Amino acid sequence: MATEPTSTARPVLGATRARQGRFGRHVFWVLLISTVLAALALFGAWTWRSGDLANTEPNNARQPVDAKAFDAPPPAPPTQNGGR
C-alpha cells in the first residue's frame, strides 16, 4: 500500500489561479521586440511600394488598349418563336 506524505512541497492553487500567467520582464521584452519588428516590416513594405502608391494614373493612358482584351461579339438577336 502506498501512503501519501502529509506535507507537500508545492502550494495548492485553484484552477483559475493556476491558469493565469504572470507579467514578467521576459514577456514585456517579447511584446516590445515583436511590436517593433512588425512596425519595421510595415514601414519597409510601405517604402518599397511608395512609388506605386504615389502614381495618380497607374495605367498611363492605356485604358483603350486594355479594354480591347474584354471585347466580346454582340449578343445574338432574340428569336420570335421562343428559341425553337
Nearest to 66 by CA among 55, 75, 57: 57
Question: Which residue's entry shows cell 479594354?
Answer: 67
Global pTM reads 0.42
pLDDT digits (tens, 9 = 90+) for 16-55: 777 776 767 888 899 999 999 999 999 999 998 887 776 6
DSSP 8-state class, residue 21: -
Residue bearing cell 512588425: 38
Per-residue pLDDT of 4-13, as tens digits, reads 656 667 888 7
